[in-house]
């Protein structure tokens, strides 16, 4: 190889492969501080499940125990990596839920009633924060639904099949323009009812499951399926509940069977309530 050609090749390599930028100490410190802050917020979100007491009625002395059923993310909206869905059950049946997530400088609890009555109450140590004025869900018979199976495993298969008959969407996009945002059904129930202690309070309830329609893994709509006995005959029933402040709707086949508008108002009787608490600095 000619000497001058080697010089040209060396210069070309210098042009195409410049020296790597050296990370500065303050960059590493900033990244470490950010990671530490995110971890602290994540831990705070987990702890915040116990911030508020949920009771099944104003006269109830003991609060319902929370249970985390989903840790979710939504990259299409603000994604903090710290968000979850918790439920509060009464003798194995879910009565309330809350999406809990960072919202700016606050932790938001987005409560929703799953109760068949209007008796749910959320309070802190000093006062009642929310007591919806109506039932959180309204059940209907599943059209042409099968009779609930005798076997528990078979009933789970029935619930999954029934859930797939439904669809849910946000009729107006929350990000950008275009068609309604179709939500994805998670294939497994978020929660399977545990009814061994419910015979006295819900003698007609035989089984149930809670399913979610999601954006990313963020639950926007919740579907409850319950096997109930009525006049000596067991049937499957369904009900929907909103897990977002945006307008949502659900369909069975081509027919819309449930819808709710945007819920940003401060109506204390609304079956959804957002409660904010500042993140400690």
Beta bridge pairs of residue 277? 107
The count of other CB atoms within 10 Å of the CB of residue 245 is 15
Model confidence at 20, pLDDT cuts 50, 70, 90, reads low
- More confident of the two residues 169 and 179: 169
> Which of 13-17, 77-81, 198-202, 225-229 comes out lowest in average pLDDT?
13-17
Question: pTM of the prediction?
Answer: 0.84
- Which runs of consecutive H residues, i.e. helices, occur in 113-269? 152-163
Domain assignment present for 272: yes
Residue 47: how many other CB atoms lie within 10 Å: 10
Q: How many CA atoms lie within 13 A of 240 on its CB side?
A: 22
Low-confidence winner among 64-78, 108-122, 244-258 (lowest mean pLDDT)? 64-78
The reply to whether 199 falls in a domain is yes
Would you put residue 80 in left (φ > 0), alpha (ψ -120 to 50) or beta?
alpha
Within-domain flag for 28? no
In 3D space, the residue among 80, 83, 86 whose CA is nearest the CA of residue 104 turns out to be: 80
Of 72-76, 156-160, 268-272, the range with the lowest mean pLDDT is 268-272
122 and 130 Cβ atoms separated by less than 8 Å: yes
251 beta partners: 167, 256
Q: Looking at residue 22, what DSSP letter applies?
A: P
Report the distance separating Cα 86 and Cα 69, nearest Å: 6
For residue 35, tell me if it sits in a domain.
no
Residue 193 domain-assigned (yes or no): yes
Asked if residue 8 belongs to a domain, the reply is: no
Q: Are 46 and 84 in contact, with CB atoms under 8 Å apart?
A: yes
Kindly tell me the burial class for residue 126, based on how many C-beta atoms sit within 10 Å of its own C-beta (0-12, 13-18, 19 or more). exposed
User: Number of folded domains in the chain?
Assistant: 1
Whole-number pLDDT of residue 37: 78
Look over the chain and give the mean of its residue pLDDT values, rounded to a whole number: 85
Residue 1 lies in a domain: no
Residue 186: alpha-carbon gap to chain centroid: 11
What radius of gyration, in Å, describes the C-alpha atoms of the chain? 25
Q: Which range of residues forms the domain containing residue 134?
A: 41-278
């Amino acid at each position: 190889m000619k000497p001058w050609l080697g010089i040209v090749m060396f210069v070309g390599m210098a042009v195409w492969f410049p020296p790597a930028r050296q990370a500065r100490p303050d960059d590493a410190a900033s990244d470490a501080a950010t990671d530490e802050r995110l971890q602290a917020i994540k831990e705070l979100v987990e702890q915040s499940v116990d911030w508020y007491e949920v009771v099944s009625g104003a006269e109830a002395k003991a609060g319902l125990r929370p249970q985390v059923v989903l840790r979710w993310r939504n990259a299409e909206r603000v994604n903090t990596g710290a968000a979850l869905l918790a439920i509060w059950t009464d003798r194995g049946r879910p009565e309330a839920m809350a999406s809990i997530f960072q919202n700016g400088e606050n932790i938001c609890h987005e409560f929703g009633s799953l109760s068949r009555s209007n008796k749910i109450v959320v309070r802190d140590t000093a006062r009642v924060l929310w007591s919806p004025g109506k039932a959180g869900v309204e059940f209907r018979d599943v059209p042409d639904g099968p009779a609930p199976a005798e076997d528990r495993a078979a009933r789970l298969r029935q619930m999954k099949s029934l859930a797939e008959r439904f669809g849910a969407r946000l009729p107006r996009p929350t990000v950008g323009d275009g068609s309604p945002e179709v939500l994805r059904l998670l294939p497994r129930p978020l929660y399977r009812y545990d009814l061994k202690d419910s015979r006295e309070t819900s003698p007609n309830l035989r089984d149930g499951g809670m399913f979610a329609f999601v954006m990313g893994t963020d639950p926007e709509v919740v579907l409850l399926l319950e096997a109930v006995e009525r006049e000596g005959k067991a049937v499957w029933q369904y009900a929907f509940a909103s897990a977002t402040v945006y307008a949502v709707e659900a369909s069975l086949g081509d027919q819309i069977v449930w819808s709710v508008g945007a819920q940003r108002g401060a109506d204390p009787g609304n079956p959804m309530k957002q409660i904010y608490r500042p993140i400690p600095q």
